[in-house]
Chains A and B, each alone.
Chain A
Amino acid sequence: MADLRTNFAGIRSPNPFWLASAPPTNSGAQIHRAFEAGWGGAVWKTIGAPVLNVSNRYGTWRYGNEKMLAINNVELISDRPMEVNLREIAEIKRAWPDRAVIVSAMVESKPEAWHDVIHRIQDTGADGIELNYGCPHGMSERGMGSAVGQVPEYCEEITRWVMDVAKIPVIVKLTPNISDIVMPARAAVAAGANAISLINTVNSIMGVDLDTLDITPSIGGRGGHGGYAGPAVKPIALNMLAALGRDSVVHNSSLPISGMGGISTWRDAAEFLLLGASSLQICTAVMHYGFRIIEDLCDGLSNWMDAKQFATIPDVVGHSLRQVSDFKDFDLSFKVVARIDQQKCIRCDLCYVACNDAAHQCIDLIDKQGHVIAPAVYEPSSNGRVEAVSTRPSVVVREEDCVGCRLCFNICPVENCIQMVEVAPDRPSVTWDELTAKQPEVAEDWDQMERYRQKMGIRIH
Chain B
Amino acid sequence: MSEIPSVTVAGSALQELLPPLSEQEAVTESARCLMCFDAPCTHACPTHIDIPKFIKKISTGNLLGSARTILESNLLGATCARVCPVQELCEGACVLGSEHKPIAIGRLQRYAMDYVFMRKIDVFHAGKSLGKKVAVVGAGPVGLSCAGELAKLGVSVTLYEKRDLPGGLSTFGIIVLREPVEVALAEVAMIQRLGAKLEVGKEVGLDPAVADLQKNFDAVFVGIGLGNSPQLGIPGEEYILDGLEYIEDSKLQPAQLHVGREVIVIGAGNTAIDCATVARRLGAERVTMLYRRTEKEMTAYPHEYAFVKLEGVTVSFLSKPVKVHHENGMVKALECVRIALGEADASGRAALQEIPGSTMVLPADQIVKAIGQNKLPLASRLDLKTDKGFIRVDANFETSSPGIFAGGDCIRARGSASTVMAVQDGKLAARAIYQRLVNHG
Q: Which residues of A contact B (CB under 8 A)?
A: 64-65, 346-350, 352-353, 365, 375-376, 378, 380, 382-385, 387-389, 391-392, 413
Contact = CB atoms under 8 A, between A and B. Distances in A.
Contact of B34 (A350, A375, A387, A391): A350
Contact of B43 (A64, A353, A365, A387): A387
Given A348-B95, A383-B46, 20 more contacts: A64-B31, A65-B28, A346-B98, A346-B99, A347-B40, A348-B39, A349-B37, A349-B38, A350-B34, A353-B37, A353-B38, A383-B45, A384-B46, A384-B92, A385-B89, A388-B43, A389-B93, A391-B43, A392-B40, A413-B34
Given A352-B37, A375-B38, A346 B44 contact: no
Contact of A383 (B36, B59, B89): B89
Nearest to A393: B38
Contacts of A380: 48, 424, 428
Contact of B36 (A348, A387, A391): A348
6 contacts: A348-B37, A349-B36, A376-B43, A384-B44, A385-B44, A391-B43
Contact of B37 (A375, A378, A387): A375
A156 to B, nearest CB: 48
Nearest to A65: B31
Given A64-B31, A388-B93, A382 B36 contact: no
Interface string B397-441: 000000000000000000000000100100010000000000000
The residue among A347, A350, A375, A378 with the most chain B CB atoms within 10 A of its own CB is A347
A176 to B, nearest CB: 30
Contacts of B421: 383
B96 interface: yes
A352 B35 CA distance: 13
A380 B34 CA distance: 24
A436 B45 CA distance: 57
Contacts of B87: 385
A194 B127 CA distance: 77
B38 A383 contact: no
Nearest to A357: B37
B391 to A, nearest CB: 17
B43 A346 contact: no
B44 A388 contact: yes
A380 B41 CA distance: 13
Nearest to B395: A381
**Residue among B38, B41, B424 with the most chain A CB within 10 A?**
B38
Nearest to A352: B37
A350 B32 contact: no
Nearest to B427: A380
B44 A348 contact: no
A75 B228 CA distance: 72
A388 B40 contact: yes
Contacts of B36: 347-350
Nearest to B43: A388
B88 interface: yes
Smallest CB-CB A-B distances: 5 pairs: A385-B92, A388-B44, A353-B37, A375-B38, A388-B43
Interface string B82-110: 00000111001101101100000000000
A417 to B, nearest CB: 12
A406 B45 CA distance: 33
Contacts of B40: 347, 388-389, 392
Which of B32, B43, B89, B428 has the largest number of chain A CB atoms within 10 A?
B43
A385 B88 contact: yes
Contacts of B428: 380
Contacts of B98: 346
Contact of A385 (B28, B32, B93): B93
Nearest to B52: A348
Given A65-B32, A385-B44, A388-B43, A376 B96 contact: no
B34 A388 contact: no
Contacts of B32: 65
Contacts of B48: 380, 383
A383 B98 CA distance: 19
Interface in B306-353: none
Nearest to B45: A383
Interface in B6-43: 28, 31-32, 34-41, 43
A350 B46 contact: no
B93 A350 contact: no
A138 to B, nearest CB: 32
A383 B96 CA distance: 18
Nearest to A64: B31
Contacts of A387: 43-44
Contact of B96 (A64, A346, A349, A384): A346
Nearest to A413: B34
Contacts of A65: 28, 31-32
A388 B46 contact: no
Contacts of A347: 36, 40, 95
Nearest to A392: B40
| Residue of A65, A346, A350, A391 with most chain B CB atoms under a 10 A cut-off | A346
A349 B34 CA distance: 10
A212 to B, nearest CB: 15
B37 A383 contact: no
B28 A383 contact: no
A387 B89 CA distance: 9
Contacts of A378: 43
Contacts of B88: 384-385
Contact of A376 (B31, B35, B38, B41): B38
Contacts of B34: 348, 350, 413
A348 B99 CA distance: 14
B408 to A, nearest CB: 15
B257 to A, nearest CB: 35
Given A346-B98, A389-B93, A383 B44 contact: yes
Interface in B161-195: none
Nearest to B36: A348
Nearest to B100: A346
A124 B36 CA distance: 60
Contacts of B35: 350
A378 B46 CA distance: 12
B415 to A, nearest CB: 9
Contacts of A391: 43
Contacts of A389: 40, 44, 92-93
Contacts of A346: 95-96, 98-99
A435 B414 CA distance: 70
A387 B43 CA distance: 8
B23 to A, nearest CB: 13
Nearest to B61: A210
B214 to A, nearest CB: 29
Contacts of B96: 346
Nearest to A384: B44
